[in-house]
Structure 1
């Protein structure tokens, strides 16, 4: 049983005893430990970060990529944590000394009568007891850490022989024990909903209660690779002995081959929990044709995961405490000693000072609680936070289609018919309610419950927007409690039960209309007719097969999970979201989408309970989004918000940002939606690229507003032989749409640049066509020769006619003032542009040109939204000639010897 977050510490909160201890404020240090002498902006960053955490602030920290932001975060935040730990110990000892003196004064006080004096003395002794208990817990914790360190040093000398022995035994045991995991039909019965306790059945390694944990720093980022980079930077810092734990999902940590083979994280979670319970399970149960039980056979124990060994997990947890490891290193070590890295990481949280984790684990409440993350009094640093609002919205939005609804309905009906006589009355009631709700949702899409998703919709093709209140009323489900249905789904494990039952008895479900059965003679005649019609012909592949399959659809056996995610979204506050309903000609193509309009509602608990929340990034503009829509949406936190922004370590003359308003032919560059597909604009792009490729050395990255526009431009340039001419100067590459192809393209792009730099070929480098907001516009570095010039074509404004965007803009206008919606629209565009710009100039000795191609960039509102570090060097050129001359002059001077002299 998992302890609730509030029970993880039995100690009184030190804040509750400030009246006794007094609050000692930590002064911001004048110097910080750093791997080298820090730049001024790095020192300022650390100072402001230290001060923000000490002051319990909500910080917005902006430091351009290449300025050593990660090291600054580490050295500023960890310094504060160590100072705070010393302060905590110091304050407790001082409080005891102070109370001892007060006790003496009370005993010797002749002014009070005996009864009053004894009452004071009892009260003070109680305070002494409470503080002594806190001090003892803290000292025991520190002693335990030291004990673990000494034990691990001794273990290192003996571990090699044990590892070898374990590896030899491991595989045979796994093969034997992982067989025959699933039981027969009784395992598919629902958990008895009315007998479940109110506490969720989460997993937990140890039932021991943690007496002391201390303040922790949680460092969050988008990807595990970024978190691994953080660990690598920590290893190089003066704080490499810090106790750091990387948190991740089972998908990242599982080393059990059987569970890992499931791939899907939901399935892996379910299987792991089942194996961890090790509880008796019924053998095949004999039932009558109507489903009543005839004979129940004796129970047997499900197999237990060999890696879920308490002693080994504890041992691995202690190892991680004393030796800094990233996620991959923890997995390798767990595999070596046959201990589960997933459970070890969670067991070691109580020892940790720093915990790394991906965004989703923190931002999604149920995931956060399942991971044992405590918000109270801790520090949360969210890096690469420029898209934090969008990320929160994405995590808490949901979408389902008619095919998922009809499939879920079909599965639930078949499941109910199979086991109806074996359900408790309460389970049957809630199951019927769930079937009813899904049936009503099918009706909303123009379908009939129990009929194929290929049914023609009874409602015309259209899109509608509903408030949550109007939606449940229109669907005729407003009399049911959605909270109860969500709770029933989670605690009865109905999704897991149906999935298991479907995999065993319904491996594929046909939802196409059933064709009339033909007689034997009719079948024979039909075959002859088909052979005659197809004689001498080859079957032609339908190029539009994806629009309407002609064969029986085989669809997932787990559609109930996204359906329940949508139903759970109906439990949000009515004002915070909207439902967009889109009906199509076929029921299965219809879509319901829940759109979260107020991300702050899901971030509020973190802000309210955490000591300090810091969001950081290379480009955090517009800052107003974080202030108004995240930190201070209800107007209660304005005094807690601090903002820090620093310049770039790259000297101003190392970067050349140019706004180019006209092309080589004098045509004004206008890549608005109405103009960008014109032949004149497409020709201007070709002419521009040819000119730029002649003078810019090494690598050029050209960003387009969308994949569709990149495709259009490339086809036009190829048709007009421009690609051939460009290839004489630069080898041309294109951003792939598939993620698994990105690394290969980047590798070849880099090799092409390296190869041309060492030969006397006419080819001087490479040109990479990329997409703003695509796979190459965030998180990747085009430093040095990989990006001597970044070109941004147009402004990537989103589709203003989008229902989702219109609802968001209307919501902001009504809740935050007129004009806020338009500002949000502008921000969506400029945030994407800024991320693309930030791919170049990654360190102090780097240099690059940035060309912004569109006359609209010269507008004040657009220029002001560009990165602050870029603006002092920004030049506006109304004519292409002057910009080309400036670019040519820059690259003639911008050689390493000139720049570094």
Structure 2
């Protein structure tokens, strides 16, 4: 992270005095909050965030759902950006003034004014240009004839031709010393030699190696990079931004220049490419897009990609200006692309340089190769990662790589066919590396065969883990002598996996026809490449897990490889090094210690700041209850083996039946796994407990298939609002922790007057991956006192993060209210209860006797009815 400037910005509103109770109003205005007065917790968050950014720190912010987290993040970050821009001018002028102490005052004043004009000229030029674009678009929106003409014109444009020449798949000549590529295809390219960086961008768009007319235009710095997990979350962010003055245009100010980045699946407007993606998946879509980019024949090239000439660049820049003139989400950028007949996927990338805000999904930010391909410069910028509760798991998954024996066999055949077709046209370095790939594939296949023979007819799954050095040595032969770093450079620079899989795809279509499924076969080379790139990291932070599976009716005994990244900080550190400040935010970030231990271990304590704000919901609207025993006095402890105990399951049914009598409307019950849910339901069907519960509330189950979720939720909501039938009031929904309903679903108001957690959802202790992570932490993160087991801390944190996410489905706004029932006496342990969200923990009581919990819950809802809330 970058050190902050010597000219320190004061936190907005910090100097204000409370005159006649107007301080919060003035503070809200200081942060440009869109409503008259922000909540106190929002002002706290905005002030804390501003200080973290200003002082170049790392921050972890927890703000429960319904507290206006996104709006607070945006107002604080853009207030800092605006003040920082003013500081840049003042700082430059002050520096010049200090150097000119001996000059007459009028000379100093003249120089200051000239410097100010130079500093603001470029920014004003951009703003004036975008203002004209906004005015033009405003006039066009009033002209229905333009809309009709534009829509009719778009319907006529399609690209259906195929590029059938094998030459398209021939790898270009590669100079290993300079890492440059000479184009070998006669596609009209006037630029023969490309650097590795330019080559990477060419794969994204050919204009990247053409001279850019705007190359001298300054890049906007610092920027704000805002990343989240899903496309819908980023769209919601843009919606929130439009509520503020930063997201709208007026006579007094312009909106921030923002651009949204997405995948081809979200942004491609070429019908033929979209149809291919819908049939064969994202990888096929990417391949087809790149084929259409590389085609030198204009009639075969994607019609939405402007040509690599002056007119084409002007068209791309026109898209950029229109994209930056107003705040757009991805859907709106796609409409701009259709209207201008310009690819929004590449048009958005062309707009990043002058943007002040870049919104993008996790994968584009977290992967260094993706950042390099997009030319995202994080230098001195602010990085905000929202919905960051799963960030560590996301990083580990992103940098893991898997390869099966089947993929090895498919890749072997594809490389053989490629060499057979192009052997006479390949140059020395390329042929050498292709032969190396054959050696590696042969060694992997031999290793698989040896493992299968070694375990014979064993009916169990056998797993072992090796370091990357041990694994390459175990492959035998000359594999250990291969320079994997050199091979990594060649793989990335030449994009050979795409060439080989593209040629294999063409051969498959010629032999079997277009409609024959081939998606898995096309993935083989990319998976093999990903595994090799993972192996090139011979650090102690990763291991290779080898799994030998027994034979089944579908396949013979099989070997599977998986590279595991054990230290997420290794992948996250480059981002920390480049950015000015990094902020992780979410509705449920507890336990926060996990982030400091696994991501920010190298960050000093004075540079790390954690903030957890209270909920806007009044304390009397929340009741947390840890219940230790059931109605019959059964000790509630739902361990792995406890789900097989009939008495425990019977008393759980008794407990829920009693709670259904006093809790109105909707109840969500979370169980640790599908297995525990199935065992519970099987027992209750036998005993009739399920029927007893159904007489009180209509029963719903979380579906296993994603496409069924909306239907279940609709029926559940309808049952809650339906009139009472035969004594049944409301509904009860049984769900699984970590499945489809425990994240991203909002159960507000009557949909969740109670959330029940049955047992503690500890991860599988027998998981080899988890064991490796726990052991790694024990070895690399020993506690200062020697009494804290870092591996066990991880085990607890994974469990409680899942619990907290599940409970966070309820309480969605200020006037909401709910009960949180924790049915397991272990929730009362200090190491467990201390990991609950602060806003729930403070309102949680332990009930040794079941009857006492009934009394408290009944009193809670009586109070709500008296207040007119139930």
TM range (shorter): 0.7 to 0.9
Q: CA offset at residue 808 of structure 1?
A: 0.7
Rounded Cα–Cα distance in structure 2 between residues aligned with 1:508 and 1:662: 68
1:694 pairs with 2:657: no
Match of 1:260 in 2: 274
- Contact in 1 for aligned 2:60/2:609 (Cα 8 Å): yes
Q: Secondary structure at the match of 2:43?
A: helix
Give CA-to-partner distance per residue, 1:737-758, whole Å, 9 cap, x none.
22222222212211221223xx
Q: Where do residues 457-496 of structure 1 align in structure 2 (5 Å cutoff)?
A: 462-476=462-476, 477-496=479-498
Q: CA–CA distance in 2 between the matches of 1:267 and 1:310?
A: 28
Structure-2 separation of matches of 1:94 and 1:487: 46
Q: 1:788 to 1:317 in 2, by over 3 A?
A: same
When residues 494 and 84 of structure 1 are mapped into structure 2, their CA distance, relative to the original with a 3 A threshold, is same
Taking the aligned partners of 2:431 and 2:456, their CA distance within structure 1 comes to 31
* Change over 3 Å in CA distance of 1:173–1:619 after alignment to 2: closer
- Structure 1 runs of 4+ off > 6 angstroms? 13-16, 131-135, 454-460
Given the alignment, which residue of 655, 670, 678 partners 1:711? 678
Please give the alpha-carbon distance, in whole angstroms, between the structure 2 residues aligned to 1:776 and 1:455.
Answer: 44
Q: Is the alpha carbon distance of 1:894 and 1:227 closer, same or farther for their aligned partners in structure 2, counting shifts above 3 Å? A: same
Of 55-64 and 616-625, deviating more is: 616-625
Asked whether the 8 Å contact 2:226–2:385 carries over to 1, the reply is yes
Structure 2 vs 1, CA of residues 456 and 315 (structure 1 numbering), >3 Å: closer, same or farther?
A: farther
Verify the 8 A CA contact 1:220 1:358 in the aligned structure 2.
yes
Deviations 1:457-489 (A, max 9, x none): 769662111011111111132211222323333
- Partners in 2 of 1:731 and 1:654 — Cα distance? 25
Find the counterpart in structure 2 of residue 649 from structure 1: 616
Matched, 1:779 2:735: no
Counterpart of 1:238?
245
Structure 1: how far apart are the matches of 2:399 and 2:421? 34
Q: How does 1:881-900 map to 2 (within 5 A)?
A: 881-895=851-865, 897-898=867-868
1:618 aligns with 2:587: yes
Contiguous gaps of at least 5 residues in structure 2: 15-26, 182-193, 249-255, 307-311
- Is 1:333 aligned with 2:333? no
Asked if the contact 2:2–2:579 (Cα under 8 Å) also holds between the matched residues in 1, the reply is no
- Check the 8 A contact 2:129/2:321 in 1, yes or no: no
**2:173 equivalent to 1:185:** no
Which residue in 2 is equivalent to 1:157? 139
1:716, CA displacement in angstroms?
2.3
> Does residue 276 of structure 1 match 2:257?
no
Secondary structure at the counterpart of residue 775 of structure 2 = helix
Report the counterpart of residue 384 of structure 2 in structure 1: 381
- The 1-side partners of 2:418 and 2:89 are apart by 59
The equivalent of 1:810 in structure 2 is 775
Q: Distance in 1 between matches of 2:866 and 2:473?
A: 68
Alignment of 1:1-400 (within 5 A): 23-30=7-14, 31=27, 32-34=31-33, 35-102=35-102, 136=118, 138-158=120-140, 160=143, 161-174=145-158, 178-194=159-175, 196=181, 197-200=194-197, 201=199, 202=201, 203=204, 207=212, 208-209=214-215, 210-241=217-248, 242-263=256-277, 264-279=281-296, 302-308=300-306, 310-400=313-403
Deviation at 1:143, TM superposition (A): 2.3
Match of 2:506 among 504, 507, 511: 504
Task: Write the deviation string for residues 49-83 of structure 1: whole angstroms up to 9, x where unpaired.
Answer: 11111111111111122211111111111111111
Structure 1, 160-169 or 392-401: larger mean CA deviation: 160-169
Q: Give TM-score scaled by structure 2 length.
A: 0.86
Q: Deviations over 1:790-842 (max 9, x none)?
A: 00010011121221111111110111115111111111101111111111112
CA contact (8 A) 1:402 1:590 kept: yes
The question of whether the paired residues in 1 share the 8 Å contact of 2:414 and 2:501 is answered with no
Query: 2: distance between equivalents of 1:173 and 1:362?
Result: 34
Give per-residue Cα distances to partners, 1:521-575, cap 9 Å, x unaligned.
xxxxxxxxxxxxxxxxxxxxxxxxxxxxxxx999523311111111111122421
| Whole-Å separation in 2 of the counterparts to 1:270 and 1:842 | 43
Partners of 1:168 and 1:69 lie apart in 2 by: 42
Question: Following TM superposition, by how much is the alpha carbon of 1:375 offset from its aligned partner in structure 2, in angstroms?
Answer: 0.9
Compute the displacement of 1:896 (Å): 7.3
Name which of structure 1's ranges 864-873 and 231-240 shifts more when overlaid on structure 2.
Answer: 231-240
CA distance in structure 2 between the partners assigned to 1:324 and 1:173 by the alignment: 27
* DSSP 3-state at the match of 2:78: helix
CA distance in 2, matches of 1:760, 1:310: 67
Name 2:634's counterpart in structure 1.
667
Q: Deviations over 1:164-197 (max 9, x none)?
A: 33332333332xxx23322222222222233614
Note the C-alpha offset of 1:98.
4.0
Aligned counterpart for 1:871 among listed residues 837, 841, 858? 841
C-alpha separation between the residues in 2 aligned to 1:138 and 1:15?
Answer: 24
Structure 1 residue 343, shift from structure 2 partner: 1.9
Question: What are the Cα deviations for residues 673-725 of structure 1, in whole angstroms up to 9, with x where unaligned?
Answer: 12222111221222222111122111100001011211221222233332233
RMSD over aligned Cα atoms: 2.9
Say if 2:672 and 2:736, in contact at 8 Å, map to a contact too.
Answer: yes
Q: CA–CA distance in 2 between the matches of 1:304 and 1:387?
A: 38
Structure 2 CA distance for partners of 1:349 and 1:553, relative to 1, 3 Å: closer
CA contact (8 A) 1:447 1:458 kept: no
Q: In the superposition, relative to structure 1, how do residues 343 and 814 fare at CA in structure 2: closer, same or farther (>3 Å)?
A: same
Aligned residue number for residue 414 of structure 1: 417
* 1:837 equivalent in structure 2: 807
Tell me how far apart the structure 2 counterparts of residues 230 and 846 of structure 1 sit (CA, whole Å): 23
Shift of 1:310: 4.2
- Aligned equivalents of 1:69, 1:473: Cα separation in 2: 51
**1:828 aligned residue:** 798
Q: Which residue of 2 aligns with 1:294?
A: none
The structural deviation recorded for 1:580 is 0.8
Do the aligned partners of residues 132 and 711 (structure 1) sit closer, same or farther apart at CA in structure 2, a change above 3 Å counting?
A: farther
The number of equivalent residue pairs is 791
Change in 2 beyond 3 A, CA 1:553/1:348: closer
Provide the rounded CA distance (Å) in 1 between the counterparts of 2:348 and 2:268: 12
Report SS of the residue matched to 1:583. strand
Instruction: Identify the residue that residue 850 of structure 1 maps to in structure 2.
Output: 820
**Unaligned stretches of 5+ residues in structure 1:** 1-12, 108-123, 281-299, 449-453, 511-551
What whole-Å deviation, never above 9, does each CA across 1:556-613 have from its counterpart, x for those lacking one? Answer: 2331111111111112242111111112345662111111110001111111110100
Match of 1:434 in 2: 437
Question: 1:220: how far off?
Answer: 1.1
Equivalent in 404, 407, 429 of residue 407 of structure 2 = 404
Contact 1:62–1:617, Cα closer than 8 Å, also in 2 = yes
How big is the shift at 1:491? 3.1
Deviates more, 1:687-696 or 1:593-602: 687-696
Q: Secondary structure at the match of 2:716?
A: helix
